[in-house]
């Protein structure tokens, strides 16, 4: 690695789920949608920490269910 550069590692656990259920929540009860999303993200991170202990504490930035370029 060159001086002045940082390495970015971006693991991306896949969580296939029923989109219809999530879309209905998003459209009809946005507060409940975000609450469910936080719970779901916590479950996924807990499972990922079985393979990578300390992942949550070491992560500087977490994107949950967002599209980015």
Angle at 14 between CA 65 and CA 55, to 5 degrees: 85
Give the C-alpha separation, 46 to 56, whole Å. 8
Walk along the chain (69 residues) and give the pLDDT tens digit of each residue. 566 666 666 666 666 778 888 889 889 998 998 898 889 888 888 988 998 899 888 887 777 766 544
Q: Identify the pLDDT of residue 15.
A: 67
Q: Identify the pLDDT of residue 11.
A: 67
Q: Identify the pLDDT of residue 69.
A: 45
What helix, strand, coil percent values describe the chain, rounded to 5?
50, 0, 50
Give the C-alpha separation, 31 to 49, whole Å. 27
Angle of helix 30-51 relative to helix 19-28, nearest 10 degrees, comes to: 140
């Amino acid at each position: 690695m060159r001086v002045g550069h940082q390495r970015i590692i971006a693991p991306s656990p896949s969580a296939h789920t029923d989109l219809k259920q999530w879309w209905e929540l998003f459209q009809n009860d946005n507060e409940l949608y975000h609450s469910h999303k936080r719970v779901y993200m916590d479950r996924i991170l807990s499972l990922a920490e079985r393979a990578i202990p300390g992942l949550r504490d070491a992560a500087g930035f977490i994107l949950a269910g967002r599209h980015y370029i």
